[in-house]
Structure 1
Amino acid sequence: MLIVSYDTLTSSPRDYDLKYLSTTSPWFLIVLALLAALPPFAIDTYTPAVPLMAQFFHESEGHVIWSISSYLLGFGLGMLVWGPLSDVVGRKVIIRIGLIIYMVATLSSTFCTHLNALITWRFFQAIGDSAGVGVAFTMLRDCYSGQHLTRTIASIIAMMMLAPMIAPLIGSCLLQDQHWQNIFYFLFSYGCVMFVVVLWLPETLSINQRVRFSSIIKQYQLHLKNRQFLTLSLCASCSFAATFCYISTAALIYMSIYHFGKFTYSGLFAINAISIIIGSLTLRYLSSKKTPHFIQCLGLWIFSISDIAMIIAMHFFPDLWLAFTIFITIATFGLCLLIGSFMSSAMNVVHEAFGTATSILNALRNILGSVLSMIVSSLIVTTIIPLPITQLCLASILFFMIYFIGPSRSLAD
């Protein structure tokens, strides 16, 4: 860990003389990973409580899952705001403001007596949460590019995916006294800790690199006219949406359709998280040896074949939970290759206003994931077939984008 002076901040985002963590320190990446892990904790500690909350609010479990979809919708819309603002005022102040909103909304959720109120507060919780996550990835782009950026994103994803492994177990433990509010007390405490920890983060955007508030619209126009960036962002969004459709409905599938308990569900969900970690490490390894196009094709074929196999297995053996778990785990591995590679490729074609570009990328993927997860959760009643069918439709879009448009063919490693 390097300790240097903040007052001598240079004009280059890669030359840091800050009185905080050095960007070359592993702790810098760990803090960013902890920020990026807020959404997995906010979602995955929450899912074991879905049946209990359905009883508390006298609503269906599918309706309770709308609170997860509203979270993702707020997350995507928040991204559109925080990214451009971070290009104007800097990265750290945006993270702090977002964490304050997150903590207020999280604590307010514990007082809800109607599901619609909870859905609303979850929306605002996500808006605050999105500041830390979006700016964290923007800070990576401030500091890295090319292969180094891809490897760093893969490392962050691998670290943040520890959250889905332990979050359902934490949620299940917190529900032992049958009070779902305990989950929000935990999330509030997490936010308080992060508010203190981010004080040690360096500011990665120097003053002379910031843009004027009046230029935000121009920055959006700049990126929205970048056809390659939009194509890659759409690909990343489809990949993420396919993953989130499973994440948002996993509790419904395992606990309502397959009738497993909270702790068994937590263990089965952790298997999927391990797949994401292995996928991230594989992406980190392949990024220095293969082109982005090769990695994306590999990920797409793994995802598509396992998804088709899942549809066939679930059609003939709908009660075979082990087959579902195996195929969704393999599919998630392929999706992890796709998400990391497409995100890195999209950011590599951007050369200015990284906060705005990150906002567009994350907003697209979260809004698409929110809409599709809401649809899938409404369709899953007695069968899980709507999940792989939706994923296969997204795979078809990716096939068209990769093989007919080829957005990453010309990108250098």
Structure 2
Amino acid sequence: MNYIKSNIQTRFLPVLTVMLAALVTLSPFAIDSYLAAMPLMANFFGVHLSVVELTVTVYFLGFSLGNFIGGPLSDSFGRKPIALTGIVLYGLAAFLIPQCRGIEQIIALRLLQAFGGGFATVTANVFIRDWFTGKQVAKLVTVVSMMMMLAPLFAPVIGAFLIKWNGWSGVFYFMGCFATVLLVAFYFLIPESRDVQLLTKTISGHQLFAKYVQFFSDKQSVLTLFSVSFSMSGMYIFLTGASFIYIDYFKIDTDLFPLLFGANVLLNIILSFCNTILIKYYKPRFLLRTGLLVQLIAGIVLFVAVLYGTPSFWVVFIGIVVFMGSLGMVFGNGTAVILNYNPELAGSANATIGIMRFLLSFVIGSIITFFRAEDLVPLATAMFLCTLIGNVLFTIHMKTR
């Protein structure tokens, strides 16, 4: 294991980074590549757009379940088997979705696809935590996150091309093919990172929950977890309503949707890149605080803009871009802080991060979907409250330290 660890840290670091980045792009592709196709799906199945939006919110639920089960299993059975199993489930569901003739079937398969995505993605950061420590974890998590953000930049563009070529079903065939290629590459290129002596190969219900009980017994971890989770939830709330904001409300042409969406990702990448430089001089906790404050300012601007009269497109657009871009300094640093609090529970700790942010997104997104107004007030309010709560919780965390 020490020999493998040494090789990973030197010769195979670029391969590891690319493969883990590809692993965590499964869910961005599953969400962002078909956002522009949602109105088409609504027409195809003869349902309201809000019903199709459930295929996004239910993904959050499935992803949370995949993280919940996959994290502890990766501690007991190893990271690689869990990752490969998740990729298989994700790809299988993607290939089956175009065969559906009812939106109910798609919602069920999206739950399965999300479960697989959560199962696979939960292992990405713990591969890093197994092989690296301290600031190296924050740096590599940020690099992987930055590369992951390239997926939302290109996903809408690829989705728009696939929609014109083969309708909305072409997007899901692409997901299935991507999962197949990743499955083969990951199997042959990435070794197991978990120490052999730590692989128990068994897990009981008690063991499954005991790891989470141990995690939640640490007040610092819990406060940081909820702070980051609420901050990230604001992003997924936007993803749920992105097509409504730009295509339905502001009447933006579908062809321009990838450009507007890509602006969010571009700023996220820029700030993620800056974070990899700043992490050499500042602690992850300080950079996390900075990212949260930037997001809070954007949330306030967005909330005020939609609250009074007809909102300006450019004010809403810039507010969303800054809100989303700030996460380039939130997610990587937040994950590093939590993992460094719990090195012996890396799999379960990382799973908890995914569970909470996606579970919160599912709950809030579902509420907005069922009680959607014909304006932007519900979306903007939810995004503002998420970043406000995240900042308050992190402030409490800093004071209790």
Q: Structure 1: state its 5+ residue gaps.
A: 1-8
Structure 2 gaps, min length 5: none
Q: Shift in Å at residue 290 of structure 1?
A: 2.1
For 1:3, the equivalent position in structure 2 comes to none
Equivalent in the alignment of 2:185: 197
Instruction: Summarize deviations over 1:119-164 as a string: whole Å, max 9, x none.
Output: 1100000111112211111111111222111111110111111110
Contact 2:87–2:179 under 8 Å retained in 1: yes
User: Aligned to 2:264, which of 246, 263, 272?
Assistant: 272
Structure 2 counterpart of 1:133, from 109, 121, 127 = 121
1:104 maps to 92
Contact 1:22 1:28 in 2 (8 A): no
Deviation at 1:87, TM superposition (A): 1.1
Instruction: Rate the CA distance shift 1:312–1:400 in 2: closer, same or farther, 3 A.
Output: closer
Residue from 203, 217, 238 that aligns with 1:213: 203
Deviations, residues 24-70 of structure 1 (Å, cap 9, x unaligned):
52111011000101111111111111000000111111110101111
Deviation for aligned residue 1:331: 1.6
Instruction: Name the counterpart of 1:313.
Output: 305
**Mapping of 1:77-96 within 5 angstroms?**
77-96=65-84
Q: Is the 8 A contact 1:13 1:142 kept in 2?
A: no
Q: What's the CA shift for 1:378?
A: 3.8
Whether contact under 8 Å (2:302, 2:384) holds in the other structure is no
Corresponding position of 1:14: 5
Q: Distance in 1 between matches of 2:74 and 2:289?
A: 34
Q: Distance in 2 between matches of 1:322 and 1:178?
A: 33
Aligned residues of 2:228 and 2:331 also touching (Cα < 8 A): yes
Q: How does 1:374-385 map to 2 (within 5 A)?
A: 374-385=366-377
Q: Distance in 2 between matches of 1:237 and 1:306?
A: 17
- Between stretches 353-362 and 248-257, larger displacement belongs to 353-362
Please tell me whether the aligned partners of residues 285 and 334 of structure 2 are also in contact (alpha carbons under 8 angstroms). Answer: no
Aligned equivalent of 2:144: 156
Q: Which amino acid aligns with 1:352?
A: E
User: 1:261-410 counterparts in 2 under 5 A?
Assistant: 261-316=253-308, 318-406=310-398
* Correspondence for 2:28: 40
Contact 1:13 1:205 in 2 (8 A): no
Q: 1:236 aligns with which of 228, 235, 256?
A: 228
Aligned equivalents of 1:207, 1:298: Cα separation in 2: 39
Is the partner of 1:175 in helix, strand or coil? helix
Larger displacement relative to structure 2 (154-163 or 178-187): 178-187
Offset of residue 296 of structure 1: 2.9
Matched-pair identity in %:
26
* 1:247 paired residue number: 239
Shift of 1:256: 0.8
In the superposition, relative to structure 1, how do residues 378 and 216 fare at CA in structure 2: closer, same or farther (>3 Å)?
closer
Give 1:394 deviation, angstroms: 1.8
Amino acid at match of 2:81: V
Q: Is the 8 A contact 1:13 1:206 kept in 2?
A: no
TM-score normalised to structure 2 length = 0.93
- Return the offset for 1:380: 4.1
Cα offsets for 1:378-404 (capped at 9, x unmatched): 444421122221122122222321223
Tell me the TM-score normalised to structure 1 length. 0.91
What amino acid maps onto 1:289 in structure 2? Y
**Distance in 2 (alpha carbons) for counterparts of 1:121 and 1:406:** 42
